[in-house]
Structure 1
Amino acid sequence: MHSPLGIRPHRMRPADATTWSLVAAAVLVQIAYPLTAESWRTPVTVLSVVVFAAASLADAGRVHGLRGVVVLVAVAGGGGLLAESVGLATGFPFGQYAYADTLGPTAFGVPLVVPLAWLMMAWPALVVGRALAASPLAVVAVGGPALATWDLFLDPQMVDAGHWAWAHPTPALPLVPGVPLTNFGGWVVVSVAIVAALHALLDRPARPTVTSGPAAALYLWVYGSSVLGHLVFFDRPGSALVGGLAMGLVAIPFALRLR
């Protein structure tokens, strides 16, 4: 049976205790981060990404089975690693930057936690795109920015923490110093490509707005907590404002749609 959009619907299991437990753990670790002593923040950062990625993988597996897990790892994780390794070697598409020796094991010079970060947010971004749009082009046009705008919070925080730095941090977005415009442009390009590939390779569920409560919770948590964290804990009111406005263009309509 096919939907009017030409996308084969399928049945999925309801979210189970394991998936929701991983979501709750991801939230709790992120809450702990700003309350943790400076010397412990790097391990907490890594743990946060690992647990969040596990929650996304569990939810993708619930909705799409083993295929969902494999595709998410290959496309979002592998695609993120490819983009980052090319970026390190050539400066394209993000600009010239370098990682500090702080985030653990690496592959091709890229800390392994970095492609996990692409993976962890790519799945919620796909769910957001599918909830707010119908046609494949529109899903990508929404889901790509849903992923890319998260970087308006991520990069300033990680630069301040000393995990990576830019050779040429200007010109930058207004109120977001230390991160060049080229980086955000690169994020848009890579995010759109990842979401487009995920949408093409994973069948769209018949009822996308109610398919993934866990992914919805993760995305909206990241949005709200990022605004609060940059405003209150990280002394980054500029990125709280710019990121809050940009990511809010997707997150707020998504929250309203869920109602």
Structure 2
Amino acid sequence: MSTLLALVQNRPDDRQAWEAAMDQLVRQHRFTIAVVFPVVGAVLLLASAEGLLPEPLAFNPMLVLMGVLVMRSPLVVGISPVVDRKAFAGVAGLAAYAYGIEYVGIETGFPYGEFFYGVDLGPMVGGVPLALPVFFLPLVFNAYLLCLLLLGSTAERTAVRLLTVIALVLTMDVVLDPGAVALGFWRYPGGGAFYGVPLSNYAGWVLSATVAVGVVDLTFDRTALRARLESCEFALDDMVSFVLLWGGINLFYGNVVPAVVAAGIGMGLLRTDRFDASMLPWRGEQSAGR
């Protein structure tokens, strides 16, 4: 909190100074952002779903949104230095695409199958959360960054890169959707074969992921992303939050396959060698210069 107040009081003068200040802020609070927030978030969401929280707090949309924004901060801060005009246009286009395909999905059932939101995830417009890009786009960016690290030089082969990222986005939804359905975030009236999720949902995700991954690949400078990943050890911390939050929720509800898949994603993250003692609050200061 003191670091945040100092940042507000001593506002940096330009983009580069802002980026350096935000790097420091996230780096100093890695453990809180990537571990404490998702664990506390999972407990609050489960308590809400099980009727253990009073009405003002249960699934409070502002609490949900604020928690998600905090967990997204390492990703946003991590990639912001490489967001030029072309990349910004790509992000803006993807945000519009996310709204559009979600609205069509709610109205027509295409491409995910018939569904509706059971919980307001912040302000809703036309049945779609206003903050939808905050929920959808990080899945794509996290998958893209992780694949760049895991594939190494093989990522230079376009077909391998794109197919691997699309597959990872789909894999992340194998974790996300069953947990969200168990919480009641959204509902499929006809049910589904995979922990209440219809297979049409995953067919829809193949479409949405293919478009989104293609846009990211076309609009972001891959060389710049690689260089940023080398210097920014926290860029994938949001994916740590994803594994802890949704893996924990699936485990609680006995969704064995999604929980195991979440653990598998966690193993992939460990292979990137990005999560050493700098994640620990009592070692963060010593590791800040990594």
Q: Is the 8 A contact 1:101 1:163 kept in 2?
A: yes
Q: Is the 8 A contact 1:127 1:212 kept in 2?
A: no
Q: Identity over the aligned pairs, expressed in percent?
A: 23
Cross-structure match for 2:59: 42
The one of 235, 255, 259 equivalent to 1:215 is 235
Map residues 222-237 of structure 1 onto 2, 5 A cutoff.
Answer: 222-223=242-243, 225-231=245-251, 233-237=252-256
Q: Taking structure 1 as reference, are residues 238 and 22 closer, same or farther at Cα in structure 2, changes over 3 Å only?
A: same
RMSD in angstroms over aligned alpha carbons? 2.9
Cross-structure match for 1:20: 27
Q: CA deviation at 1:71?
A: 3.1
Deviation digits for residues 64-119 of structure 1 (CA, Å, limit 9, x no counterpart): 356545533432x3222222111112211100111135223123321123331112
Question: Matched residue of 1:42: which SS?
Answer: coil
Partners of 2:270 and 2:164 lie apart in 1 by 14
Question: Matched residue of 1:205: which SS?
Answer: helix
Deviation digits for residues 134-157 of structure 1 (CA, Å, limit 9, x no counterpart): 222222111122222111222122
Cross-structure match for 1:256: 271
Cross-structure match for 1:55: 74
Q: CA deviation at 1:254?
A: 5.3
Question: Matched residue of 2:156: which SS?
Answer: coil
Deviation digits for residues 184-212 of structure 1 (CA, Å, limit 9, x no counterpart): 12112211221111011111125726255
AA in 1 matched with 2:230:
V
Q: Which moved more, 1:13-22 or 1:54-63?
A: 13-22
Q: Is the 8 A contact 1:128 1:146 kept in 2?
A: no
Partners of 2:225 and 2:119 lie apart in 1 by 44
Q: CA deviation at 1:28?
A: 2.6
Q: Taking structure 1 as reference, are residues 229 and 161 closer, same or farther at Cα in structure 2, changes over 3 Å only?
A: closer
Q: Which has the larger radius of gyration?
A: 2
Cross-structure match for 1:181: 199
Which runs of 5 or more residues in structure 2 are unaligned?
1-18, 275-290
Cross-structure match for 2:109: 91
Q: Is the 8 A contact 1:19 1:59 kept in 2?
A: no
The one of 34, 38, 50 equivalent to 1:30 is 38
Q: Taking structure 1 as reference, are residues 229 and 182 closer, same or farther at Cα in structure 2, changes over 3 Å only?
A: same
Q: Which moved more, 1:132-141 or 1:179-188?
A: 132-141
Partners of 1:97 and 1:207 lie apart in 2 by 36
Count residues in correspondence.
Answer: 237
Q: CA deviation at 1:158?
A: 1.8
Which runs of 5 or more residues in structure 1 are unaligned?
1-12
Partners of 2:29 and 2:171 lie apart in 1 by 24
Question: Does residue 79 of the first structure (1) align with residue 97 of the second (2)?
Answer: yes
Q: Is the 8 A contact 1:88 1:96 kept in 2?
A: yes
Deviation digits for residues 14-64 of structure 1 (CA, Å, limit 9, x no counterpart): 782134367543543211123334233523432232223443222221233
AA in 2 matched with 1:81:
Y
Q: Is the 8 A contact 1:100 1:163 kept in 2?
A: yes
Q: Taking structure 1 as reference, are residues 49 and 74 closer, same or farther at Cα in structure 2, changes over 3 Å only?
A: farther
Q: Taking structure 1 as reference, are residues 106 and 22 closer, same or farther at Cα in structure 2, changes over 3 Å only?
A: farther
Map residues 69-218 of structure 1 onto 2, 5 A cutoff.
Answer: 69=88, 71-75=90-94, 77-100=95-118, 102-131=120-149, 132=151, 133-170=155-192, 172-173=193-194, 177-205=195-223, 208=226, 210=230, 212-218=232-238
Q: TM-score, normalised by structure 1?
A: 0.77
AA in 2 matched with 1:141:
L
Q: TM-score, normalised by structure 2?
A: 0.70
Partners of 1:106 and 1:207 lie apart in 2 by 33
AA in 1 matched with 2:256:
P
Partners of 2:129 and 2:122 lie apart in 1 by 6
Q: Is the 8 A contact 2:178 2:258 kept in 1?
A: yes
